[in-house]
Structure 1
Amino acid sequence: MSKAAGLRGTLSLKSRVALAMAAVLAVGGAMVLVAALAYGRQAAREAYDRLLVGAASDIAESITVRDGAALVDMPISAFELLALAPDDRISYRIVGPDGETLTGYDTAPLPRAEGDVVFYDGAFGSEKARYVSLVRRFAERSFSGPVQVIVGQTLKARTELARDIAQNALIVLGAAGAAMAFFAWLVMRSALLPLPRIGFALRQRDPTDLTPIDLSAPSEVATLVESLNGFMARLDHQMTTNRNLIGDAAHQLRTPVAAIRAQAQLAAEEPDATRREKMVARIHERAVSLSHLLDQMLNHAMIIHRADTAPRALVDLRDVAIEAFEANEPGAFGKQYAVSLDLPDSPVMVRGDMMSLAEAAKNLLGNALNHGRPPVRIGVRSGDRAILWVYDKGDGPPAEILDEPGMRFAGDQSKGSGGLGLAIAHAVAASHAGWISFHATGGGFEAALDLPKDG
């Protein structure tokens, strides 16, 4: 499957947000439902416990003492309260001070805890039931001691009330969830409107139009637009570099290639051996110059490409200077001078691309060897910034080159230089947040890579 097909198969943002909202509502709904069930059970228990206490109180108030014995006249009001749960069965038991059952069901369980009012769960036959124990104390001559009134009720009404409360809560929750989902959809639709506008703007563009997108958008989408503009800027930079390379190659190579071709044809037709040798030497000189020009053009393109793609690492500028110094081999530059190396004892660290920095140093040294005067020195020094410098006894480049060091094919190209040395060094310095500096000093001229230190 192609990458484009994979992108088409992914869920849309609306679907993802909708699924996330549904998941949140489902989890929240489950939690609320559990809470509603617990609340319903608690509310039903408290409501019917009050009925039990009311019925037990009515029964306790109806107890009288006659002839030294407790008499119970079961009040109708107690049964009217318990009749509010018509489907439930009722059990009661009155226990005297001696533990004897005065009236009621002997099977009604007694509480395990002590107290004037005690609620507890028990059984009523094969059914679960809820009981209350209420104590009325007597202190008369003929009768004294506590009389315990026990009233119980099965749980059907409680269960139905708890279910009704939970069901009503679930209905309210469903309505609230539907309303929240609707408003969330409206908000999401409004929030995502800038994305279709950006897509439409891109589809309407000419394929070669890499200018920044200028559309108002929320901050989150604006970050995406900024990243897209940054990507298009880098792409435009690469395309401009490629166009410049093609244009420079077409412009700079056509003339020397034509000259070499014409001279080779003349040399082939020249009968005089001495003149033919001079023509061959001239062809060789032009071929060497053309080779150097090609090397510089390709190096310039490589440096610009690596500025955006090469990973950065800690580099000791002393190693860069040593590599440029060791590249000063016979035939590497147009002229050969003795080059001296001046390095500090401590490392001078920068963060950058070793290959690009070395290429810049080689070009600065090549310019000094080709256009300057001996002695030539290359070295490194450290202060607030890291400096890789090349010094010679010459006067330095013309003023127009000093003003525009990044200009390609500037200066005299007749001495074996392609006019790209300073342009390459300038591109490397700029890609490393630095610059090229020029100074007339000590009766000579210094060109230097001025870079920020790291460590």
Structure 2
Amino acid sequence: MTSLLSRFGATSLTARVALGVTFLLTFGGIIVSIAAFAYGREAARTAYDRLLVGAANDIASAITVVDGHPVLELPHSAFELLALAPDDRIGYRIVGPNGQTLTGYDEIALPAGLAGYSDVFFDGAFFGEAARYVVVSRRFAERTWSGTIRVAVGQTLQARNAMAVDITRKALYVLAASGLAMLLLAVLVVRAVFNPLKRIAGGLAERDPHDLTPLDTDVPRETAMMIQALNAFMGRLDRQMNSMRHLISDTAHQLRTPVAALRAQADLFSDEEDPERKDRIVERIQTRSTSLGRLLDQMLSQALVIHRGDSVRREKIDLRDVVLDVFEEGDHAVLRPDIAVVPQLADQPVYVLADTTSLQEAVKNLLSNALKYGRAPVRIGATTENGVASIWVEDVGGGPDPEILSALGTRFNQSGLSRQNSSGLGLAIAHAVARSFEGQLVLDTHGDRTFRAALCFPEIKAEAA
């Protein structure tokens, strides 16, 4: 059963539609065939019943009373009507008031309880063969004789059945022709409907593997959602590819100078004989290694947040939890144990739609910058105001240099930042996180007193979240 379903799932849409139309036509054809046969039988019965009534009335009208006795001379017109069915056998019986047979076949049994003068039809047999009969009554009220004479005329069913079959056969011919025409029309319509899909498939097949530009959206409404989904997927893939290319390019650009400097210091150390100078060279190597390690961490962190911004499903997050997670990890105590970090949280939840890991990376970089370049006290908090949710880091100081702020969000702004201890790269990471979740990085400087870096996002109400 499972294999059958899997094979059906692999069939083309055209085959599925054709199979569905064929099933509907077959089911409908069976119903129409039954209805056509029933209609044919009814039409044949009505037509031949009228012939029987006409023949019986002709015979009844030919009965006369002579010398006090009913006399019948069978009219030829009655049998001419019934002769329209040449293969059928004809039988008749004329019954007097006392039930005696005046003429005809005694084998024809009239139904019991005949009353009134209306025509009565019934099914019976004529010498072992199925037949159809009609009984016509005629009332006589003569001075010499009075009473009711009943005329029964019957006919076998060969012509009736042949007529019913003929009507059914002709109806089936029309039905079969109509069904084939509908099936062919359905196939043509389905092929025409699927032409946009074929055009889309052809366009994708002819594309360069590196071409991730959006597809043409001039398509029928039913396929527009698929095109939009494809374009969104290719957009995410294009951003991922660009991020990968930028990461490789930026990494090579950033690491060339520090690695060359380390190599030069190592060469100097191997050639130096003075112990004091060797100690200074080792100190410089250690400083540059630490700086290089931090630079690598920040670049990998930036690649991580850019990747997660496009690939990770957004979820409801309370920014207060992010603040507590960063605070409890205690990285600040390792970087600057002499500076106390004070958390400052709102009383109510501060909900946004984002990714916890990305927000934590951004806040860690902002906190690291504050500890490295600012002065105590350093505060970290989450607040909301006028529908805007913010997670921020604040320190005492003037903030980064103006050239760093002007280069924020552009490529290769890290090249100069490595020489300035990479303060701008941390801001670039925070900027990328804010942009990934429809937010913004707001830098607020009050002279030399305080500097606040805040990630601001649209607030999600607790009920909606």
In the alignment of these two chains, the number of paired residues is 449
C-alpha change, 1:398 and 1:117, in structure 2 (3 Å) is farther
1:86-235 equivalent positions in 2, closer than 5 A: 86-111=86-111, 116-140=118-142, 143-144=145-146, 146-214=148-216, 216-235=218-237
Q: Which amino acid aligns with 1:267?
A: F
Residue 22 (structure 1) aligns with:
22
C-alpha change, 1:190 and 1:373, in structure 2 (3 Å) is same
Q: Is the 8 A contact 2:443 2:451 kept in 1?
A: yes
Q: CA deviation at 1:242?
A: 0.8
Q: CA deviation at 1:234?
A: 1.9
Query: Which of 385, 392, 396 lines up with 2:399 in the alignment?
Result: 396
SS in 2 for 1:108: coil
Q: Is the 8 A contact 1:292 1:418 kept in 2?
A: no
Q: Does 1:419 align with 2:424?
A: yes
C-alpha change, 1:327 and 1:126, in structure 2 (3 Å) is same
Aligned equivalents of 2:335, 2:410: Cα separation in 1: 21
CA deviation string 1:167-191 (max 9, x = no partner) = 2122222333333344444444444
SS in 2 for 1:212: coil
Q: Which amino acid aligns with 2:395?
A: D
1:173-322 equivalent positions in 2, closer than 5 A: 173-214=175-216, 216-322=218-324
Aligned equivalents of 1:175, 1:167: Cα separation in 2: 12
Aligned equivalents of 1:323, 1:12: Cα separation in 2: 53
Q: Which amino acid aligns with 2:429?
A: I
SS in 2 for 1:374: strand
Q: CA deviation at 1:54?
A: 1.9
Q: Is the 8 A contact 2:332 2:367 kept in 1?
A: no
SS in 2 for 1:290: helix
Q: CA deviation at 1:222?
A: 4.3
Q: Which amino acid aligns with 2:120?
A: V
Root mean square deviation of aligned Cα = 3.2
**Structure 1 length-normalised TM:** 0.86
Q: Which amino acid aligns with 2:398?
A: D
CA deviation string 1:286-328 (max 9, x = no partner) = 2222222222222222222222322333222211111122234
Q: CA deviation at 1:239?
A: 0.9
Q: CA deviation at 1:126?
A: 3.3
CA deviation string 1:321-359 (max 9, x = no partner) = 111222343565468621111222332233332222222
C-alpha change, 1:329 and 1:40, in structure 2 (3 Å) is same
Aligned equivalents of 2:195, 2:394: Cα separation in 1: 60
Q: Which moved more, 1:315-324 or 1:343-352?
A: 343-352
Point out where structure 1 has 5 or more consecutive residues left out of the alignment.
Answer: 1-5
Q: Which moved more, 1:49-58 or 1:111-120?
A: 111-120
Q: Is the 8 A contact 2:320 2:381 kept in 1?
A: yes
Aligned equivalents of 1:395, 1:348: Cα separation in 2: 28
Residue 457 (structure 2) aligns with:
451
C-alpha change, 1:56 and 1:423, in structure 2 (3 Å) is farther
SS in 2 for 1:106: coil
Q: Which moved more, 1:320-329 or 1:400-409?
A: 400-409
Q: Which amino acid aligns with 2:207?
A: R
SS in 1 for 2:375: coil
Q: Which moved more, 1:81-90 or 1:444-453?
A: 444-453
SS in 2 for 1:248: helix
Residue 407 (structure 1) aligns with:
410
Q: CA deviation at 1:252?
A: 0.9
SS in 1 for 2:331: coil
Q: CA deviation at 1:241?
A: 0.9
Query: Which of 427, 434, 439 lines up with 1:429 in the alignment?
Result: 434
Q: Which amino acid aligns with 1:309?
A: S
CA deviation string 1:183-222 (max 9, x = no partner) = 4444444444444443443343332222223374433344
Aligned equivalents of 2:113, 2:375: Cα separation in 1: 112
Q: Which amino acid aligns with 2:452?
A: E
Aligned equivalents of 1:334, 1:135: Cα separation in 2: 124
Q: Is the 8 A contact 1:293 1:418 kept in 2?
A: no
Residue 3 (structure 2) aligns with:
none
Q: Is the 8 A contact 2:383 2:390 kept in 1?
A: yes
Q: Is the 8 A contact 2:295 2:418 kept in 1?
A: no
Q: Is the 8 A contact 1:111 1:118 kept in 2?
A: no
Q: Which amino acid aligns with 2:391?
A: L
SS in 2 for 1:315: strand
Aligned equivalents of 1:173, 1:135: Cα separation in 2: 44
Aligned equivalents of 1:186, 1:171: Cα separation in 2: 23
Aligned equivalents of 1:137, 1:368: Cα separation in 2: 124
Q: Is the 8 A contact 1:335 1:369 kept in 2?
A: no
Q: Does 1:358 align with 2:363?
A: no
Point out where structure 2 has 5 or more consecutive residues left out of the alignment.
Answer: 1-5
CA deviation string 1:103-135 (max 9, x = no partner) = 333333434686623333333343332233333
Q: Which amino acid aligns with 2:305?
A: I
Identity across aligned pairs (percent)? 54
Aligned equivalents of 1:112, 1:263: Cα separation in 2: 130
C-alpha change, 1:330 and 1:234, in structure 2 (3 Å) is closer
Residue 347 (structure 1) aligns with:
349
Residue 385 (structure 1) aligns with:
388
